[in-house]
Structure 1
Amino acid sequence: MKAVIALVALVFAAGSSLAAEEKKEPSAAQQAQQDKMKACNAQAAEKALKGDERKQFMSTCLGAKPAKATQQEKMKACNGEAGSKQLKGDERKQFMSECLKANPS
Structure 2
Amino acid sequence: MKKLLSLTALGLALTLGAGAHAAEDAKAPTKQQSKMATCNKDAGDMKGDERKAFMKTCLSNKPATQQDKMKTCNADAKAKTLKGDERKAFMSECLKK
Common topology (TM > 0.5): no
TM-score of the aligned structures, taking structure 2 as reference length: 0.40
Structure ID, larger Rg? 2
